């Protein structure tokens, strides 16, 4: 049994997470990696700053991992969510799930990312090529007008 | 009775602080803590019923808070 989740402030090493869940009983390993995309809602993005209610985010992520393990019979999974300023292409989250068979592994991976999006107290502020930045809401759309900030 | 309100992201910017001590004459609910925050300068940025966590656990608006509780007002989350 290897169930681990962490909020980190360094680059995510996906290969290390894959190695962590390796076990000959598992016939399937699913890795999901979320990273910073160059365009959001039609605007050119330069990077994203992730912030969190750290203590609660750690707890919620651990709860999601534990619920996932029970619901899908997963004995080997690793999740890391990164905070801080990320540039284009950098991984903000990696979810690695291993199981004897592929179906539970895929379902468990999907469950984790959807729960993260629904309840993990983490926020992101997108920076754009024009120098402005905005908080992004749960649907991934910048909050127009709200807390908008322009670099001087 | 005093509780500590924690503010994050856009809410912290709107109220100009990420941590506020709030006093109540008697007992109070989560909803009353939110109402007091919304009455502050910049508080209109908070919706009437935001997501709230008391001592690290999501809470309902009618939940009672106790002296020393940490009441976090959670903006729309955007993890992943």
User: From the candidates A37, A53, A139, which should be mutated to test the interface with B, based on the most B CB atoms within 10 A?
Assistant: A53
Sequence-distant (≥ 6) Cβ neighbours of residue B57 within 8 angstroms: none
Residue length of chain A: 152
Is pLDDT of A144 > 90? no
Is residue A32 a contact partner of residue A24, using CB atoms and an 8 Å limit?
no
Q: Which residues of B touch A (CB under 8 A)?
A: 6, 8-10, 13-14, 45, 53, 56, 58, 72, 74-80
Instruction: Give the global pTM.
Output: 0.91
Tens place of pLDDT for every residue, chain B, 80 residues? 999 999 999 999 999 999 999 999 999 999 999 999 999 999 999 999 999 999 999 999 999 999 999 999 999 999 99
CA of A119: which chain B residue's CA is closest? B77
Signed CA dihedral, A114, A116, A122, A127: sign only:
negative
Average model confidence (pLDDT) across chain A: 92
Q: Bridge partners of B25?
A: none
Pairing of strands A91-99, B2-7: unpaired
Contacts of A86 in chain B (CB under 8 A): none
CA of B11: which chain A residue's CA is closest? A147
Measured between CB atoms, which of A137, A147, A149 is closest to B78? Answer: A137
A15-39 pLDDT, tens digit per residue, is: 999 999 999 999 999 999 999 999 9
The secondary structure of residue B45, as a DSSP letter, is G
Angle at A137 between CA A135 and CA A138, to 5 degrees: 145
A110 burial type by CB count under 10 A (0-12 exposed, 13-18 middle, 19+ buried): middle
């Amino acid at each position: 049994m290897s169930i681990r989740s962490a909020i980190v402030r360094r680059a995510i090493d996906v290969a290390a997470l894959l190695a962590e869940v390796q076990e000959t009983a598992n016939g399937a390993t699913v890795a999901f990696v979320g990273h910073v995309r160059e365009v959001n809602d039609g605007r050119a993005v330069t990077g994203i700053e992730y912030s969190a209610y750290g203590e609660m985010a750690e707890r919620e992520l651990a709860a999601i991992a534990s619920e996932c393990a029970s619901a899908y019979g997963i004995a080997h999974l690793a999740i890391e969510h990164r905070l801080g300023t990320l540039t284009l292409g950098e991984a903000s989250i990696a979810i690695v799930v291993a199981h004897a068979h592929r179906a539970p592994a895929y379902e468990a991976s999907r469950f984790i990312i959807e729960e993260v999006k629904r309840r993990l107290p983490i926020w992101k502020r997108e920076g754009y090529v024009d120098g402005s930045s905005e908080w992004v809401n749960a649907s991934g759309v910048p909050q127009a007008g709200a807390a908008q900030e322009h670099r001087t | 009775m005093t509780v500590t309100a924690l503010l994050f992201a856009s809410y912290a910017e709107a109220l100009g602080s990420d941590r506020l001590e709030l006093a109540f004459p008697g007992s109070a609910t989560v909803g009353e803590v939110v109402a007091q925050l919304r009455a502050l300068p910049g508080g209109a940025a908070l919706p009437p019923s935001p997501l709230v966590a008391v001592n690290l656990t999501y809470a309902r608006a009618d939940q009672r808070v106790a002296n020393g509780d940490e009441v976090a007002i959670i903006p729309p989350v955007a993890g992943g």
